[in-house]
Structure 1
Amino acid sequence: MKKLYFFLTVVASLIVWRNAIAQNIIKPGETWPDDKGNHIQAHGGGIIQLGKYYYWYGEQRRQGLDTNYRYVSCYRSKDLVNWKFMGDALQLSDPEQLGRRWVLERPKVYYNRNTKTYVMYFHLDDAKYKLARVGVATSKKPQGPFTYVKSFRPLERESRDIGQFIDDDGTAYLVFESRPTKGFFIAKLSDDYLSVEKEVCLVNAPLEGGAIIHYNGLYYAIGSELTGWRPNPNRYATATSLAGPWSEFKDIAPPATNTYSSQSTMMLKVTGSKTTTVIFMADQWRPKTQWDSRYLWMPLEIGDGKLVLPQPQPWQLNIKTGEAGVVNSPAE
């Protein structure tokens, strides 16, 4: 009996040890469990950092949701690997009498330090994608609940896929795709973040899924072709100013991979004591089983005007030093 007890204890210890190791590794394209063991549901999302915590917001697509509502989830982490589910930050019924199958996509949250308010933007639309507006909701807590405020067309333009960008000086921008203009806009938010103050640039390329980062004196912009749920070769351009001019767009990965079956949603910069890592955040959509859609996060090879998305592999991140490295790389 003692031998059996000892054996079971050893097995249990090994399982705990294995799980602890796994929690330090990001595995692109695999299920990503939260603190409760459930696959993270934060699709088309965005991340903000507040003190020692990162907050990840996204489309809540778990099974069994009330179809009369749309949901935005909130997760919290200290290391970008282990995430605690903070609940549904937004639970919204049809806000503009849009009818069945109305759309809430790509939620992004900003924190306004002057008003001490969390401001959420999202793509709001009807089933035929004719409304083409942004919706705005606010909260006094990062995990919500958020309250719907209004919807509008930024710069009086059609707006579908949206992205967010917060520059190194703290200035907040909305990035949105506008189909009639065959490009995507970069627009500065107003002081209270509740509206758009001015146009900064129209990036003249028919792309969606816009993501921007400022790295070593250059701005990098990534976009996805207009193919809906179907993945395609994402491309990037650079500029010394957000206002442009922007360089010619180039592929971030071998075109045949269709960005490794993913679509860009954000680039996240992690600055540590030793180096800075820029993480490519993308969704691997599964339209027929959206709750099982996956995430492709990988550290980018970036600098001197070049940007490359390496082949996805398990990798580790040291949040304190900013160092990232592939686990069990074939080159090792």
Structure 2
Amino acid sequence: MESKMLKPIFIAIFLLFATGSFAQQKQNTVSPGELWKDDQGNHINAHGGGMLYHKGTYYWFGEHKGEKSNNAYVGVTCYSSKDLYNWKNESVALAVEDNPESLIYKGCIIERPKVIYNDQTKKFVMYFHSELFRRGYEAAYTGVAVSDKATGPYQFLSAARVNPGYWPLNMSQDHRRLKLKAEDYGKWWTPKWREGVEQGLFVRENFYSGQMSRDMTLFVDDNGKAYQIYSSEENLTLQIAELSNDYTRHTGKYIRVEPGGHNEAPAIFKRNGKYFMITSGCTGWDPNAARLLVADDILGEWKLYPNPCVGAGAELTFKSQGTYIFPVQGKKDAFIFMADRWRPSNPIDGRYIWLPIQFENDFPVIKWMDRWDLSVFN
């Protein structure tokens, strides 16, 4: 009798597996700060990420983190989605290398990877902040890799500082000619030292080796021109650098933004002909208030505005730090702010804060939502 009763139970369990009822449940909302599982039931591991939309599919690239380290022991991961709610693990797009001579040797630092597509070459181009194995953050390199497929594998091309031998377009001839060095300005954070930073102290120091590049993002303009935006000059000044037509090199054309302003984590988008950039201050892994920069020309003058986040938690950007802003396809004026809630004691458990950008008086506003879906843009 007992065996007869157990048989229907076994049949039911078999049917559950056969019909996929035990598969990861489909999602239809975004829940900022909660565990976000992929198609295999694992928390998505794509921190400091960026988004690429190509031929009907979104591709989310990010840092693969472990439980005890923020260093790159795996590489850059890629996930794909048709609806922005449910994500398929496409595995590792750019793998670290086992050769100790490699600039991306296992255990190095790879942060904030971003991928753009080049219509002319039909290549996918990845940029990332690169630091050498066991050298901390002293290198301040930009890494570049390419692939014929969005999901990879990506071929590592180079890692180096940016635009050696070139002056910023918006640095005056007088400041270029100054011979003063860091020690001539005295202690850091004094008014005299701040004046030195504004006059291009670190630009001059790194003129021949190339400009430092740490937190970064990429942006492709309406005319196909691409730019890298990165935190430079010891994280004191943002720089915006034009990329070559194939997107794999810098052209030597770049500007400084907010010299001495101490901005990092840039995220940029364009709406109605204006460029908007949301950044953060520099407080390590701890959150702080976001900043807003606005310009009419990407290589023109940028103006600083107050925190675009409003409401409870705005003073700490809802306990997160921005990483990317991307448009939702098929919807007008629909942009999503991607941010990370870092957990340095257990990096793999870092959470994702995605929030819709709203507009008030033509300026972006970000408000907290416990749960939302794309209908907010309707």
Give the TM-score band, short-chain normalised. 0.7 to 0.9
AA matched with 1:154: V
Q: Which of 113, 124, 130 is the aligned partner of 2:119?
A: 113
Q: Which of 157, 170, 174 is the aligned partner of 1:149?
A: 157
How much does 1:276 deviate?
2.6
Q: Does 1:161 align with 2:208?
A: no
AA matched with 1:81: Y
Q: Does 1:280 align with 2:337?
A: yes
Segment drifting more, 197-206 vs 234-243: 197-206
Deviations 1:239-269 (A, max 9, x none): 1111232222311225764001100101111
Q: Which residue of 2 aligns with 1:241?
A: 297
Q: Which of 236, 252, 259 is the aligned partner of 2:308?
A: 252
How much does 1:306 deviate?
1.9
How much does 1:69 deviate?
3.4
Provide closer, same or farther for how the CA distance between residues 162 and 221 of structure 1 changes in structure 2, counting only shifts above 3 A.
same
Distance between the aligned counterparts of 2:273 and 2:342, measured in 1? 33
How much does 1:229 deviate?
0.9
Provide closer, same or farther for how the CA distance between residues 304 and 35 of structure 1 changes in structure 2, counting only shifts above 3 A.
same
Q: Which residue of 2 aligns with 1:195?
A: 249
SS in structure 1 at match of 2:285:
coil
How much does 1:193 deviate?
1.2
Q: Does 1:23 align with 2:8?
A: no
Q: Does 1:175 align with 2:229?
A: yes
Pairs within 5 Å for 1:223-242: 223-242=279-298
Q: Does 1:324 align with 2:374?
A: no
Runs of 4+ in 1 over 4 A off after TM superposition: 62-65, 94-101
Q: Does 1:122 align with 2:128?
A: yes
How much does 1:46 deviate?
0.7
How much does 1:312 deviate?
2.9
CA contact (8 A) 1:185 1:199 kept: no
How much does 1:87 deviate?
0.8
Q: Which residue of 2 aligns with 1:263?
A: 321
Provide closer, same or farther for how the CA distance between residues 200 and 24 of structure 1 changes in structure 2, counting only shifts above 3 A.
same
AA matched with 2:328: V
C-alpha RMSD of matched pairs (Å):
2.8
AA matched with 2:149: K
Distance between the aligned counterparts of 1:105 and 1:159, measured in 2? 11
Distance between the aligned counterparts of 2:324 and 2:104, measured in 1? 28
5+ residue gaps in structure 2?
164-209
5+ residue gaps in structure 1?
326-332
How much does 1:201 deviate?
2.8
Provide closer, same or farther for how the CA distance between residues 171 and 146 of structure 1 changes in structure 2, counting only shifts above 3 A.
same
SS in structure 2 at match of 1:241:
coil
Provide closer, same or farther for how the CA distance between residues 253 and 116 of structure 1 changes in structure 2, counting only shifts above 3 A.
same
Q: Which residue of 1 aligns with 2:47?
A: 43
Select the structure that is richer in strand.
1
Pairs within 5 Å for 1:66-85: 69-85=73-89
AA matched with 1:269: P
Deviations 1:212-243 (A, max 9, x none): 10012211011111112111101112111112
CA contact (8 A) 2:103 2:159 kept: no
CA contact (8 A) 1:296 1:312 kept: no
TM-score by length of 1: 0.84
How much does 1:104 deviate?
1.0
CA contact (8 A) 1:56 1:75 kept: yes
SS in structure 2 at match of 1:291:
helix
CA contact (8 A) 1:154 1:195 kept: no
CA contact (8 A) 1:70 1:104 kept: no
Segment drifting more, 174-183 vs 69-78: 174-183
Q: Which residue of 2 aligns with 1:330?
A: none
Distance between the aligned counterparts of 1:291 and 1:68, measured in 2? 12
Distance between the aligned counterparts of 2:72 and 2:83, measured in 1? 35
Pairs within 5 Å for 1:128-147: 128-147=136-155
AA matched with 1:307: P
SS in structure 2 at match of 1:76:
strand
How much does 1:179 deviate?
2.9
AA matched with 1:83: W
CA contact (8 A) 1:46 1:56 kept: yes
Percent same amino acid at aligned positions? Answer: 38
